Chain A
Amino acid sequence: MSTIELKDVSKEFRINRERSVLALSAMDLTIREGEFVALLGPSGCGKSTILHLVAGLDEPSTGTVTVDGLPPRQLQAKQQLGIAFQEHALLPWRTVEGNLELPFQIAGRTSDREHIAGLIELVGLKGFESARPSQLSGGMRQRVSIARALCLNPKLLLLDEPFGALDAVTRRFMNLELQRIWQEKQITTILVTHTVEEAIFLADRVLVMSGRPGRIIRELQVPFPRPRAVETMRQELFHQLVDDLTLSLEP
């Protein structure tokens, strides 16, 4: 079970002795097990802060964050957290395979070669096992980064604008790929993004945020059944929802 609960969470960042910024204020949020939630908002609205709090990389100023009733640090300690960033964060001196072995080595487990080979195939990088990050394209690096997040069969997957640095065409293609990959794993997932199409296409629920202080201004239950494919994006309803949410993002 992994239900994520944020209760009355606020987060303040101090800039200097006099000034501080309220990144989140009185945030209440529940994410069910197996749910794919997208946090949508402009940059600086505190959506990455939520991700950091859930990952246990940061502590809330007030309120509590729990995953299955436990603080996120415990999930960290059990290595049940998969995380991928906009910056691929791959180790440049390791091959694709070596980068996927890294989580096993950090956890002190023997690397599961079969599992790694399966993940490489899942993200469509068969044949690139011994390539180094510098030899891969941006999209391919993000694939490795996502495969790495899935290495230890995490209970919770956190994606911080994973395709933010990609061009529109590659990005759209990667959305389709992520949809396919997620369909196979169905892990509780939080995706942080500022692209409306990406949020609607991938998530079960989209939370629209506004900044200073960060709060949720809108919530959308995505009506499209899974598995979703390119056709989903061509539906009239899809375009309507995109327009609708885009409008609510405008200040």
Chain B
Amino acid sequence: MILRFLKKSWAVILLLLLWQIGVMTTNYNSIVVVSPLSVLQDLTMHAPVYIVPALWTTGFALGGLLLGMLAGLVLAVICWTSKILSGLLQSSALLLTATPIVCLIPILARLFGYQSRTELLTVAIMTFFPSFVYAGSGLRRLPQRSQELFAALHASRWKRLVLLALPAAVPELAVALRVGTAYSILVTVVAEFLMQTGGLGDMFAVTMQQFNLHRALGASVIAMALSTALYEASSALEKRVRLRFA
């Protein structure tokens, strides 16, 4: 048990140790540089302060993730039905994939207001792309000769979608979910930081302004933990899906 934990976490622990030693050996002012131990202390002593922002951020991240994944899948299916639409949507999707969405947060904030819905929208747009791209390729990654089988049985377009293409896309959708979750918390936190709409990003911004660095870093540690946990959960899900579908 402990050995397994060490095997998976040795590198992270090493990093934290280096940080602690670094803080102890250099003489930076403790207001600007804090040690991991003091952050941990604040986390345990004032745990209740973090709960609401953490739930808020998680809620918006998952909500946006769901919205973005769904939109990506729907659009990928629409593309699947028509070559013309496929070309049209692919180019716009490519354009937007290459666009740094995070840079658009200021514009989105101007367009939709400094509100939580903008936060949701940012995460949704961010996670839309992996979903669209992976679902698009998944819908086309069919088992060998299955297309001919379906043609020989005179399968309708709808049956091809429901019985063949959609189940075939499930593993790729699982990848999209993993990639999307990797971003969701981070993007939510950046959006909250910029728009100060509540959640961990907001908490970070406010506590930074008060020079309460322990609390600010505590908030980001929580964000990291959430992000890592979500990522590992979706990785585990992806592994299971792969076993089932391949």
Residues of A within 8 A of B (CB): 52, 55-57, 73, 76-79, 81, 83, 85, 87, 89-93, 102-103, 105-108, 134, 152, 158
Contacts and interface: CB of A to CB of B under 8 A. Distances in A.
Nearest to A102: B163
A108 B155 CA distance: 9
B77 interface: no
Dominant secondary structure at the B interface: helix
A92 B155 contact: no
Given A105-B159, A106-B150, A85 B145 contact: yes
Interface of B: 143-146, 148-155, 159, 163-164, 167-168, 170, 244-246
Contacts of B167: 91, 93
Contacts, number: 65
Nearest to B149: A89
Dominant secondary structure at the A interface: mixed
Contacts of B245: 92-93
Contact of B144 (A87, A152, A158): A87
A89 B144 contact: yes
B145 A89 contact: yes
Contacts of A77: 154
A65 to B, nearest CB: 14
Contacts of A91: 143, 146, 163-164, 167-168
Contacts of A57: 148, 151-152
Among A81, A91, A134, A158: residue with most chain B CB under 10 A:
A91
Contacts of B246: 92, 134
Nearest to B153: A106
Contacts of A93: 167-168, 170, 244-245
B148 A107 contact: no
Given A89-B145, A91-B143, A105 B152 contact: no
B109 to A, nearest CB: 43
Contact of A81 (B145, B153, B170): B153
Contacts of B163: 91, 102, 105-106
B242 to A, nearest CB: 11
A77 B150 CA distance: 11
A81 B153 CA distance: 7
A86 B170 CA distance: 25
Nearest to A94: B167
Contacts of A55: 148, 151-152
A83 B148 CA distance: 9
Nearest to A85: B145
A134 B242 CA distance: 12
Contacts of B154: 73, 76-79, 106
Contacts of B170: 93
A207 B164 CA distance: 35
Contacts of A108: 159
A151 to B, nearest CB: 9
Nearest to B145: A89
A81 B149 CA distance: 10
A77 B164 CA distance: 18
